[in-house]
Chain A
Amino acid sequence: MQESLEDQLKDLIVEALALEDVDPSEISTEEALFVEGLGLDSIDALELALAIQEKFGVATSPDDERNRELFYSVKTLADFIRAETDVG
């Protein structure tokens, strides 16, 4: 069975950011990824963008305000990737 895009993203977050003490299943789909939620930082945002580009071929927006919204949670990222790729 194909893993959901949300689950793929959670795996990617753990793998790309080397979060050795985090299990993908612990990551909330809706909650904030950065600082208050999972506690990711600004460097993680750049690393994650790179990993998403490599895995899904989806580039960040040229508008950083919009990037802040897109990178808010697993859900916002998944919605963005779906919209860009017409997948899932």
Chain B
Amino acid sequence: MSAFELLGNHAPNAVVAFGGAGTKTAADLLADAARISNVLPPAYENSHALLFFERDRYAMAAALLGAFDRGHAVALPPNLRRDSVWAVHSRPETAIVVHDADMGIPINISELLEAGGAGGGSEPARVTPPLVAPIVPNPGVIATVFTSGTTGPMTPWRKTSAELLGEANALGAAFKVKRGDKIVGAVAPGHIYGLLFTILLPLMRGAAFSRETPYHAEAVARCVGENQANILVTVPVQLRALDALQSGSLSCLSRVFSSTGPLPDSVARAFSERHTLPITEILGSTETGGIASRTRQVGRQEEWRPFAEVEISVTDQGRLLVDSPFVHADLPRPFETADLVELHDDGSFTHLGRSDGIVKIGGRRVSLQEVEDCIRQQPGVEDAAVLAIPADGGRGHQLLAAIVPASHDVAELKKALLKKFEPTCLPRRFLCVDSLPTEMNGKMPRDRLLRLFGLQANGRPMNWQLAWGESTLSRGDDGTESLERSVRVPEDYAWFDGHFEEFAVLAGAAQLKELILPVIARAFPDLGSVQAMRRIKFSGRITPGNSLIVRVARGQKKGRVEFEIRNRTEVCSRGILILTLASSLGDESAQ
């Protein structure tokens, strides 16, 4: 069998598609594909049929085979936004649009397929003879997959039969997908990952796919359960959502694929614990094809392993170099990716992140520069900065945008951004400020930008909380009252931030406001505000992680409080504060 043929492993009555819309066999698919082929315009050089399917994966498969039969390649827009579809539609190589949406333009496949067969009646007869399996697409370009989110509006990636079908076949062999396997596709079939795993791979390996693309947890569980599917093709966000399901609700599955973005450890662990299922993660991109996979399961941390056909190496800067039959023909070999990796002696590698300004949000590539440029272009915006921080759950990252001037209307800005970007790619937080923290050299340090949003350099919220311990109140024979309270100053305590670049110490004002006055308020609730300070000495440094004792004491003069802060080895600061007596309205309290 050739590596580049479709439906070569299905008997005519073998199931190719299942789900709520009904079961379809290989014979059905060949007949429907013929019907579509029959109504397509003739092919010309490099002609493409644009496929746009929101509902039925089977209909998309029929359209794909029909287009191949007619001699067209297929064009897949980067997403299902109408403006993206129109942009691809207006390209000269697009000969026709085939879709299952309410677009009011030909060819609406639902009408075509309902009219042609399946509709129920024995008439009219099927005048179009079915295609004959196996289907062998022409050896040249069979698909153009568009990506968005990098520089420029959309990038077309032409894929030859050898690249696309070769990859689907290699994936099928690597994961031993076989006749009779049932694959639930929870990712859109127009995405390269969905196309490979939920249409091409099953059509090549004799397996079947779900017609619908379930989204919410219960919908995924129903699609898997009702059809006794054994393979689920999904994405990190959905794996997190599947945590809502009871254990056992995915028990017929034997393999779960995840791709399009990093799968957080917490999500992988929660899922595999609840459902006792490993997750097979796939690393790849539209331009490089599949690169590597790894298995995530409880108690085992596996590294990325390149597929058998893929050769990897690493640049001096730690960037991953990839060579394989799936790398796009126009790209230099080996192709230098923006992925930062650490290679291991056994051929596996650890993924350390990306080296460009591209982040993945919910599986979608977003260029920080592109979002920032778009914001800058909006009327009234004087300056803008966009940055990404890691996000919990399956989102991967989230964006923050700081905008000058402080009076800018964020609602209008969001509307403008939504015209160009997917909702998931919009910044989660907009902050309008008078100026951005630009330094003399024109650079805007990331940590100072983060500070605007109240975040630390690691993206976590600034920590304003001290770890207070026990307090001991005591009264001396001479009437002296004192209170000692232990406290730990966390390493990431926000007040350390920014005083001295290299050396974090807690400033005197912060000691007074955050350490001394709270202890005074606890010890002597009758005291009010500070009137004067006497003999203040800072004799030792308070540094990150210090454990301290704060002591406050007063004698006969009720408004006069002595304080002392000491760490394990020395007194850090001491002095006298004169405070008002809140309980007596006069100011005789001080003396």
Contacts and interface: CB of A to CB of B under 8 A. Distances in A.
B219 A60 contact: yes
Contact of A62 (B218, B238, B429, B430): B218
A35 B392 CA distance: 21
A61 B219 contact: yes
Contacts of B289: none
B217 A59 contact: yes
B423 A67 contact: no
A53 B216 contact: no
A3 interface: no
A1 interface: no
Interface in B184-214: 212, 214
A84 to B, nearest CB: 12
B193 to A, nearest CB: 16
B393 interface: yes
Interface stretch (A5-13, A42-50, A72-80): A42-50
B244 interface: yes
Given A21-B429, A59-B218, A35 B423 contact: yes
B362 A67 contact: no
A42 B241 contact: no
Contacts of A40: 423
A88 interface: no
B116 interface: no
A46 B240 contact: yes
Given A20-B429, A43-B395, A64-B219, A50 B423 contact: no
B307 interface: no
A62 B218 CA distance: 4
Contact of A67 (B216, B244, B426): B216
Contacts of A61: 216, 218-219
Interface string B228-258: 0000000001101101110000000000000
B424 interface: yes
Contacts of A67: 215-216, 219
B429 A42 contact: no
Contacts of A86: none
Contact of B423 (A41, A59, A62, A63): A41
A50 B266 CA distance: 15
B221 interface: yes
Contacts of A20: 429
A60 B216 contact: yes
B410 to A, nearest CB: 8
Nearest to B391: A18
A43 B394 contact: yes
Nearest to A41: B423
Nearest to A61: B218
B39 interface: no
Contacts of B333: none
A20 B429 CA distance: 7
B423 A39 contact: yes
A42 B244 contact: no
B414 interface: yes
A35 B418 contact: yes
A46 B243 CA distance: 11
A46 B222 contact: no
A45 B424 contact: no
A62 B221 contact: yes
A60 B244 contact: yes
A41 B361 CA distance: 11
A46 B237 contact: yes
A49 B217 contact: yes
Contacts of A21: 429-431
A67 B219 CA distance: 9
Given A41-B423, A64-B215, A64-B219, A46 B429 contact: no
A40 B222 CA distance: 26
A42 B218 contact: no
A7 B112 CA distance: 48
A41 B216 contact: no
Given A43-B394, A49-B244, A64 B426 contact: no
A39 B240 CA distance: 21
Contacts of A64: 212, 214-216, 219
A70 B221 CA distance: 18
Contacts of A54: 244
Contacts of B238: 46
Residue in A46, A54, A59, A62 with the greatest tally of chain B CB atoms within 10 Å = A46
Given A42-B423, A46-B237, A53 B219 contact: no
Given A39-B426, A42-B362, A47 B216 contact: no
Nearest to B223: A62
Nearest to A58: B244
A23 B418 CA distance: 22
B418 A43 contact: no
B500 to A, nearest CB: 29
Interface in B116-148: none
B240 A50 contact: yes
Contacts of B237: 43, 46
Nearest to B361: A43
A52 to B, nearest CB: 9
B362 A49 contact: no
Contact of A43 (B244, B362, B431): B362
Interface string B409-433: 0000010001000111010111100
A45 B237 CA distance: 10
Given A49-B216, A63-B219, A64-B216, A42 B243 contact: no
9 contacts: A21-B429, A41-B362, A41-B423, A42-B362, A42-B424, A43-B237, A46-B394, A63-B222, A67-B215
Interface of A: 18-21, 34-35, 39-43, 45-47, 49-50, 53-54, 59-64, 67
Name the 10 nearest CB pairs between A and B, nearest first. A62-B222, A41-B423, A46-B241, A60-B216, A53-B244, A41-B424, A62-B218, A43-B362, A60-B218, A64-B219
Given A39-B423, A46-B237, A53-B244, 15 more contacts: A18-B392, A21-B429, A39-B414, A42-B215, A43-B424, A46-B215, A47-B240, A47-B241, A49-B244, A50-B241, A54-B244, A60-B217, A61-B216, A63-B222, A67-B216
